[in-house]
């Protein structure tokens, strides 16, 4: 906490020095969304380069003066929370003055900018985000407030903790971790008691694009247990994008890559080549939209695809057919095909990439 307080004090000192010299204060933040500031490293994923380009948030410019003021406002809130050892969610910060902030996304962006500017992980700023991800299966742990969570004893779903950093005493006999793209598939596997039938496993879903807490938990489980991590996604560009976020990270959070990415993640399904292999009826597949085509073209150009020739091959199958499929397409073979046949076979015969 002393590091965080010192970092904030340094920023404010810079503002005061500018004022003393009768200059307009400026805050300098990294261009977090610029691909030119990103390098790909096989062992880490997408990470920000040390000498990345920056942008200035000026107090004397009409376009950025408001943002400058909001950054100082949130810095003061973080400073007070760190001093008093209290926490707030991003929503708490937004609702503390909705008229001032205008929208939740403004608060989210500023907090990420501050985290990047101070080079301090967001959770060390005492700002938590409400988790949307779920976890189930062979896992138990203790939350920071002492609450014991045992996912093992039932088919109950637990929300991913909002303070992943604070959980301890993680225990599991799981043989692997399965990341499931969508909530509906996750619930279906729970109903089929999948995590007990094949072999003990931990199941996680970010319910679409994963939030920070879900990604932190996947990374924490990898660090704790070092067991295989598989992904179960739709065979479409959006599903591939989500899998890449777990494995290699995202451009906007590349400054935190070391805490968030798990480059050992494997693509278990649904593979575009599976659709032909399983003789899925063409009528059950969905034609590409223009958006799908653009997304796939952009993924194929990304630096990590070059070191994944087998992934590239699958993406090329998808690009050639211009067809996509949801995991639910397997129910056209039988209602429990996913948990009874597809996943057990994939795991037994190493059908992952």
Active-site residue numbers?
Answer: 95
Of 76, 114, 113, the residue nearest 96 (C-alpha)? 76
**Residue 344, CA distances (Å) to 229, 268, 337 in order:** 15, 11, 10
| 38 preceded by a cis bond (ω within 30 of 0) | no
**If DSSP states are collapsed to H, E and C, what string results for 80-149?**
HHHHHCCCEEHHHHHHHCHHHHCCHHHHHHHHHHHHHHHCCCHHHHCEECCCCCEEEECCEEECCCCCEE
Measured CA to CA, the distance from residue 64 to residue 58 in angstroms comes to 6
C-alpha gyration radius of the chain: 22
Q: Which pair of structure tokens corresponds to residue 244?
A: 């890449």
- For 205-237, letters b (16+ CB in 10 Å) and e give bbbeebbbbbbbbbbbbbeebeebbbbbbbbbb
HSE of 322, CA atoms in CB hemisphere, 13 A: 7
Measured CA to CA, the distance from residue 135 to residue 151 in angstroms comes to 8
Look at strands 148-150 and 229-232 and give their pairing.
unpaired
């Amino acid at each position: 906490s002393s590091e965080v307080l010192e970092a904030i004090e340094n920023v404010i000192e810079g503002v005061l020095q500018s004022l003393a010299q009768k200059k307009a204060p400026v805050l300098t933040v990294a261009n977090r969304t610029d691909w030119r500031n990103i390098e790909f490293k096989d062992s880490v994923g997408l990470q920000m380069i040390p000498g990345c380009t920056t942008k200035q948030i000026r107090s004397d410019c009409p376009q950025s003066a408001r943002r400058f003021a909001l950054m100082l406002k949130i810095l003061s809130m973080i400073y007070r929370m760190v001093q008093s050892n209290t926490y707030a969610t991003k929503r708490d910060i937004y609702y503390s003055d909705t008229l001032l902030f205008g929208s939740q996304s403004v608060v989210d962006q500023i907090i990420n900018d501050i985290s990047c500017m101070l080079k301090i992980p967001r959770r060390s700023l005492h700002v938590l985000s409400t988790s949307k991800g779920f976890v189930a299966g062979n896992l138990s742990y203790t939350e920071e407030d002492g609450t014991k969570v045992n996912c093992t004893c039932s088919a109950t779903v637990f929300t991913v903790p909002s303070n992943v950093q604070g959980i301890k005493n993680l225990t599991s006999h799981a043989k692997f971790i399965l990341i499931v793209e969508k909530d509906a598939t996750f619930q279906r596997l729970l109903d089929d008691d999948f995590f007990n039938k094949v072999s003990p496993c931990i199941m996680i879903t970010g319910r679409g694009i994963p939030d920070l807490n879900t990604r932190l938990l996947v990374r924490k489980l990898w660090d704790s247990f070092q067991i295989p991590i598989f992904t179960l996604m739709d065979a479409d560009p959006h599903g591939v994008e989500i899998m890449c976020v777990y494995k290699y990270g995202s451009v906007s959070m590349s400054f935190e890559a070391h805490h968030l990415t798990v480059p050992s993640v494997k693509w278990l399904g649904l593979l575009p080549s599976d659709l032909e292999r399983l003789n899925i009826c063409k009528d059950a597949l969905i034609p590409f939209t223009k958006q799908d085509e653009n997304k796939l073209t952009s993924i194929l150009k990304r630096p990590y695809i070059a070191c994944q020739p087998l992934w590239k091959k699958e993406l090329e199958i998808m690009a050639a057919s211009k067809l996509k499929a949801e995991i639910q397409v397997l129910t056209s073979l039988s209602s429990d095909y996913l948990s009874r046949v597809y996943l057990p076979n994939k795991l037994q015969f190493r059908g992952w990439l």
